[in-house]
């Protein structure tokens, strides 16, 4: 079954490039194309895409506001930011709003299909330069600044949480730290329980939110 997908993009050149790429793919059912967030929010209940590609620098309502609205009303929808903006504020505000991935336009199209499949498999597609910003953010803070629930994480759980923030799947994390997939699943579940969250996105968002 094809993946139902929509995008919101106000740059006409990139709009048509996205349209062509998604329509030609055998993996996707392009159910909506929008140049502003307001129209997208209005039509969402009728099209209900599984995955949304969202520009954030839009006229009127910003993409970050639209993501927050969609994730509040339809939390199962996956939202991938697709933008030229890579400043820290936009990155972290997007993640706090509920974005499940963050890709820069300059190198997104050639691997877009791969990144959409990644998010379907439970990963978090993030452009390497953005992943580097996230890792730096983790590493630049002392553990003493954590809230009590984060102080409960042990060193291994913090290590796994860092890899989760990079978008690595359980299998990839297991290979990096030489543990079984079952062990990674147990560590991840422990992280969720200690942080009182349900999934990867909520864990990362809570981490960023309590430290800003």
* pLDDT, tens digit, 9 for 90 and up, residues 5-29: 999 999 999 999 999 999 999 999 9
140 pLDDT band, cuts 50/70/90, is low
- 156 in the same domain as 206: yes
Token code pair at residue 99:
């974005």
Q: Is 26 within a domain?
A: yes
Mean pLDDT calculated for residue range 56-62: 93
Same domain, 109 and 204: no
CA triple 145-150-155, angle to 5 deg: 100
- Number of domains composing the chain: 2
CATH of the domain at 113: 3.40.50.2300
Whole-number Å distance between alpha carbons of 178 and 199? 23
Q: Which domain holds residue 83?
A: 3-127
Contact 5, 52 (CB under 8 A): yes
134 within some domain:
no
For the stretch 64-70, contacts whose Cβ atoms lie closer than 8 Å and that sit 24 or more positions apart, written own/partner, are: 64/90, 64/93, 64/94, 64/97, 64/99, 65/37, 65/97, 66/8, 66/37, 66/40, 66/41, 67/94, 67/97, 67/98, 67/99, 68/97, 68/98, 69/41, 70/41, 70/44, 70/98
pLDDT tens per residue, range 64-114:
999 999 999 999 999 999 999 888 888 888 988 999 999 999 878 888 999
pTM of the model: 0.66
- Report the alpha-carbon distance of residue 134 to residue 33 in Å, rounded: 30
Give the domain-ending residue among 104, 127, 150. 127
């Amino acid at each position: 079954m094809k993946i139902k997908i929509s995008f919101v993009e106000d740059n006409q050149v990139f709009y048509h490039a996205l349209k062509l790429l998604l329509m030609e793919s055998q993996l996707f059912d392009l159910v909506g194309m929008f140049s502003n967030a307001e129209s997208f929010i209005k039509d969402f209940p009728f099209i209900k895409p599984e995955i949304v590609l969202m520009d954030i620098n839009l006229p009127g309502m910003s993409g970050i506001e639209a993501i927050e609205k969609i994730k509040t009303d339809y939390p199962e929808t996956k939202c991938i930011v697709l933008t030229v903006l890579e400043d820290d504020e936009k990155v972290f505000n997007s993640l706090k709003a509920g974005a499940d991935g963050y890709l820069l336009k300059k190198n997104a199209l050639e691997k877009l299909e791969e990144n959409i499949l990644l998010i379907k498999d439970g990963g978090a597609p993030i452009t390497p330069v953005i992943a580097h910003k996230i890792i730096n953010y983790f590493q630049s803070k002392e553990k003493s600044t954590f809230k009590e629930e984060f102080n409960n994480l042990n060193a291994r759980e913090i290590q796994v949480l860092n890899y989760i923030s990079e978008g690595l799947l359980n299998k990839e994390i297991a290979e990096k730290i030489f543990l079984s997939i079952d062990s990674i699943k147990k560590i991840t579940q422990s992280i969720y329980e200690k942080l009182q969250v349900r999934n990867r996105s909520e864990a990362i968002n809570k981490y960023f939110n309590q430290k800003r």
